[in-house]
Structure 1
């Protein structure tokens, strides 16, 4: 099973479960707001994204563990900013049954969002 991760706010994940699909692209932006894809990361990318874009968030986040083989929407690995680093993007809503686990994501003792090991999501 190939997996990718999406950083989510727990309340937005709960709302998605009630609605039947997850539609948040990234922090504060949804597919309903005109975003064209849902941002995702591989394990080695999560901490960098969290420490860059969620640095001011003080409460735990949720990591949605997504089985890429269960996705209904298209998945593309893309380097959109020309940095040479690709990220997985889900083009359309995230079907709930593709989310095989939800992990609490909390800061380390040093106050930074921690690295995520592949073993933690397997």
Structure 2
């Protein structure tokens, strides 16, 4: 299982239209070139680093990699540490999202 953080409004729109065009916060797949994904251990760190000021509700998308039509590529996301991240070079199919978790806004 891999994960993607989404604004709840974007996910609801994707379920309605059947298309999820987002790569990361404020950037589409077309702009970024791929969808940013995370492992189970990475998504909380990504949320803290990049989604800290987001006040809109977030949803954690649980993605079954076996249901992806486009290749999942693991690449170095942080050259300083060598940490790798999964990237999807193509749109995220709505049907590859097998579960979701509503995320409670952090306090403080």
- Structure 2: gaps spanning 5 or more residues: none
Runs of 4+ in structure 1 over 6 Å off: none
Superposed counterparts of 1:80-91, under 5 Å: 80-82=77-79, 83-91=81-89
- Give the match for residue 62 of structure 2: 65
Counterpart CA distance in 2 for 1:15 and 1:24 is 11
User: What is the number of equivalent residue pairs in this alignment?
Assistant: 107
Task: Give deviations 1:32-86, integer Å, cap 9, x for gaps.
Answer: 3x22100010110111100110111234310000000001121011104413100
Counterpart CA distance in 2 for 1:22 and 1:58 is 21
- Structure 1: gaps spanning 5 or more residues: 113-122
1:45 has 2:34 as partner: no
Task: Give deviations 1:79-122, integer Å, cap 9, x for gaps.
Answer: 044131001111110111110001101145xx27xxxxxxxxxx
TM-score by length of 1: 0.80
1:19 has 2:24 as partner: no
